[in-house]
Amino acid sequence: MEEPQAKRARLNSPTKNVKKDKETTDLYLDTIDRHMLDFDFEKVCSVSLSHLNVYACLTCGKYYQGRGKSSHAYFHSIDKDHHVFINLSTLKVYVLPDGYEVDDPSLNDIKYVLNPILTKKQVEELDKTLKTSYDLNNKKYFPGFVGLNNIKANDYVNVIIQALAHIPPIRDYFILQDFEAKGSSQLVCRFSALVRKIWNPRAFKGQVSPHELVQEISNASRKRFKLTEQSNAIDFLSWFLNTLHKDLGGTKKKNSSIIYQYFQGEVKVESQEPGLPTEKDALAKFNPNRAITTTTSPFLFLALDLPPVPLYQDERERDIVPQVPLTTILSKFDGKRVQEVSNQLKRYSITRLPQFLILHIKRFTKNSWTNEKNPTIVNFPIKNIDMSNFSSDPETDTLGAHYDLLANISHEGESGPGKGAYKVHVRHRGTEQWYQIQDLIVEEIMPQMIFMSESYIQIWERKLK
């Protein structure tokens, strides 16, 4: 088939037709519709479902494989008269069906949204001032405090990602490292990309979809965690931190990854076989004449038990939600309180406090018939909680043992699969303003309102002396 005359002239006499090419290219660039572009979804061809050599059409936003004459992108350019495509890996832009590359400064904003890069200086400024940005519709948003799409039932993932994206050394590490160049796992690369998009100051829209990361979470966990089925946030957090640690080359050694460096602590566990109970021994206690086994175990989070809800309540008492101070449930780790666990007497004390202390408030219990949720409200200060009463860590003298709340994840509503909803409270360190984020809804919240929620996971930051 004979080539069109205009194309033949362009190929045979490039110098003569530079101006015409520029005019033609400008016409093509005018067809780009930024409102149609969404680079948060998995980079898969919409026709072949292939992950290889995928391009986005900059007119309609759809993904297609390849740009050769037999490719889906090529056919789309002819069929729909859409001509400008960007390679989702290389960020190179091409005009199809002609097949030539376009390098135009007007495309830089699109490339930045696809792969936002923050400089070290920009990262250093994130916690100092709350930057105001504007999306394509001139709607205001705050980088770092943007909603995440709940695609179907992935709110349990969203709150964990939001919390981790607000821990400064974790956030900075995943923003500044080039994990693709290092050949890191897809889980690490996609988490890094999502953190960068959350903190993107030049986004086209003031929200982000975690679709790419959630798809990889499903793959890496062998479908244990899915976007179509709600899971327990603490189960996901435990799996995610351990998998990131392993994928970053971590071992069992202390500080062998950034995960262990900032989250890992140690707890001393003393165990004893229980003796025969006596009427005097209403409370479990150790027998000084029997052997005590002592072990030290690393932890990434501490599990705290809530007092049981009273079984028999009159109508008036049913309307009163029980409350307990955080320090009361932390007393499990004071090295004095004895508990009976799996037919063993145990007592616990923290021997090494991490810089970021994760607390899991155990609200859910399973029995033979149903899932039950303990609605007890936990009272806590937002700042300056003293952990020295629960720790024998020798470093507390030099590092201190006081912590400030950094993130609070709550579960509202009933327990059970698909019931209830997660939300997260995060703080901007520079302004001390707290935000409540539930999927796409982001709103300011007064600090004193945070403990009114049914806290489930908390992240506390050590105040270094």
pLDDT digits (tens, 9 = 90+) for 452-465: 999 999 999 999 87
Q: What is the pLDDT of residue 410?
A: 97
pLDDT at 3: 42
Is the model more confident about 27 or about 331?
331
pLDDT at 465: 75
Find the mean pLDDT for residues 338-343: 86
Which pLDDT value is given to residue 398?
81
Q: Which residues contact 215 (CB under 8 A, 6 or more apart)?
A: 42, 227
How confident is the model over 345-372, as pLDDT tens digits? 999 999 999 999 999 999 998 876 777 8
- What average pLDDT does range 2-8 have in this prediction? 39
Res. 45: pLDDT tops 60: yes
Residue 181 has pLDDT above 80, yes or no: yes
| Mean pLDDT over each residue of the chain, to the nearest integer | 90
Nearest to residue 418, comparing CAs of 232, 210, 147? 232
Q: Does position 433 have pLDDT exceeding 70, yes or no?
A: yes
- Rounded CA separation 400/243 (Å): 30
Query: What DSSP element (H or E) covers 173?
Result: helix 168-176
Specify the pLDDT at position 315: 64
Cis peptide before 97 (omega within 30 of 0): yes
Q: Letter for the amino acid at 461? A: E
C-alpha span between 92 and 43 (Å, rounded): 15
d(CA 281, CA 10): 96
CA dist., res. 421 & res. 411, Å (int): 6
Residue 282: predicted pLDDT: 58
Residue 13, pLDDT > 60, answer no
Tell me the pLDDT band of 21, cut-offs 50, 70 and 90: low
Neighbours of 50 (CB within 10 A): 15
Q: Which of 228, 218, 221, 170 is nearest to 196 (CA)?
A: 170
